[in-house]
Each structure stands twice: as C-alpha cells, then as structure tokens.
Amino acid sequence: MQLLSKGERKGFMVDAKSLQSDGFGEFDLPGRSTDLNGKTACVATPDRSGGGLDVRSPAVVPARVRLALEELKCFEVVESQFGHWGLTFTNTVAIQPSNPAFATAAGRTVLMGAPKSGLIEVAFAHPVRYVSGFVTSSRRTVLSAWDFEGNQIAQDEMHAPNLANSNSPIAPNAKMCVTAPNIYRITFYAFDGQLVVDDFSFGF
C-alpha cells in the first residue's frame, strides 16, 4: 500500500504473513461497538525477524488493524515487534496479570506501562486516523494523540480508576479511542498509576 507522509509519497510494505482476517468488523466483538465502513479487520502478529518493511504489502488496506497481543511472551519488552506496521512502542511490557483487579477481556495478554508506571507511548511511522484500546487503570487515564509536528490533535479521558471489584462507576476494560487525521504519536497516561491496555487497535 502507499501512504502519504508530509507531502511525499512513501512506500509502506507490510509482511502479508503477519496478517490474518479475524472475521470481525471494525468493532464487531462481543459486548463492543459496531464496525467502521463495514470493512474486515486484520490481526497483526509480531515480527522478530528484523525483515520489517522489506516485504510485500497486502492488496487492500484494512479499516482496522488489531495487534495479536497473545503472540507476545509474558514480560516481553514491547518495542518494534509490530514495526512492519510502522509502530514503535516505548515504556511497554506484555504481561498476563495475576492481580484480579486487572481482569482481562479479549485474552490473557495485555500491555502494561513499565518501567515508568502509568505510561504507554506509541509512535507511528506513517499517519493513522484512529487508535483505540481497552483500559484498566488504578487512576484516571488520558489517551492523547499528536500530529507530526507534536501538536496535540485529539484526546479521550477516563475520569476515574476502573479496577475490577473496586466499586468504580466505570467497568474494567473501558474503551478509549482518539480519531483525527494524521496521528503520528499517542500516549496512554494514568498519572503514575498502574495501567494495562487490551485489544490495541488502529486504523488508516
């Protein structure tokens, strides 16, 4: 596929082997929202080969790409495993929570902000227009998006913590999302609390 970046045309090659059609629409998952434009989502598996961008791209750009977090090892530091989709993570570890307060929804493996508590940052090599995740946090959490120049262009906020069995007005695994043209970086920030993100997705 070809994506526009800063007025120049750049080739964005994606490993076709890393793609799976998950059979769902944009958010056509049990208990979740409806689809976006009626297109099929793709599941992107991690790539540790270092091949990155030197492979052929799929013919059709999906409405949504969902990261296959279950393919990550527990306690694996997450950085460039999804670099074939142009994603780079900072301060992120894959975990399988043993604390029932951080009950998971879509699977056993989630992303956690570490070593700095309560912060997950993702940079995109190519602009995206949509990012979402299902968040469980011990403090209120803000999801922010920035453009290429570092201007904040979108924000979503979870106004209270939502740990399981905590009498919080917000259920665990609360959906947070930002939508804007030309998103190049996002952060989940929980003000030094404990933060996990499940079902991380983005769309072009």
Specify which of 23-27, 35-39, 81-85 reaches the highest per-range mean pLDDT: 81-85
**What single-letter DSSP state applies at residue 127?**
E
**Which pLDDT belongs to residue 50?**
62
Which amino acid, one-letter code, is at 155?
Answer: Q
Rounded CA separation 60/8 (Å)? 21
What is the per-residue pLDDT across 151-167, written as a single tens digit (0 to 9) for each?
999 999 999 999 999 99
Q: Is residue 50 left, alpha or beta, with left meaning phi > 0 and alpha meaning psi from -120 to 50?
A: left
Counting Cβ atoms within 10 Å, is residue 98 exposed (0-12), middle (13-18) or buried (19+)? exposed
What is the per-residue pLDDT across 35-59, written as a single tens digit (0 to 9) for each?
444 556 799 999 977 655 443 344 5
What are phi and psi for residue 85, nearest 5 degrees? -105, 5
Tell me the average pLDDT of the chain: 82
Question: For 186-200, what is the mean pLDDT?
Answer: 96
**Which pLDDT belongs to residue 2?**
38
Which of 143, 73, 62, 83 minimizes the C-alpha distance to 111?
73
Q: Which residues contact 183 (CB under 8 A, 6 or more apart)?
A: 124, 127, 128, 129, 130, 131, 145, 146, 147, 153, 154
Query: Given this structure, which CATH class describes domain 2-203?
Result: mainly beta
How is the chain split into domains, by residue range?
Answer: 2-203
Rounded CA separation 110/68 (Å)? 10
Which amino acid, one-letter code, is at 138?
Answer: S
In this structure, the chain runs to a length of: 204
Instruction: Band the pLDDT of 128: cuts 50, 70, 90.
Output: very high
Paired sense of beta strands 8-11 and 2-5, if any: antiparallel
Question: Is pLDDT at 20 greater than 90 in this prediction?
Answer: no
Rounded CA separation 11/93 (Å)? 29
Counting Cβ atoms within 10 Å, is residue 62 exposed (0-12), middle (13-18) or buried (19+)? buried
pTM comes to: 0.79
Question: Is pLDDT at 176 greater than 80 in this prediction?
Answer: yes
Which amino acid, one-letter code, is at 190?
Answer: A
Tell me the residue ranges of DSSP E strands in 68-118.
87-90, 92-95, 110-113
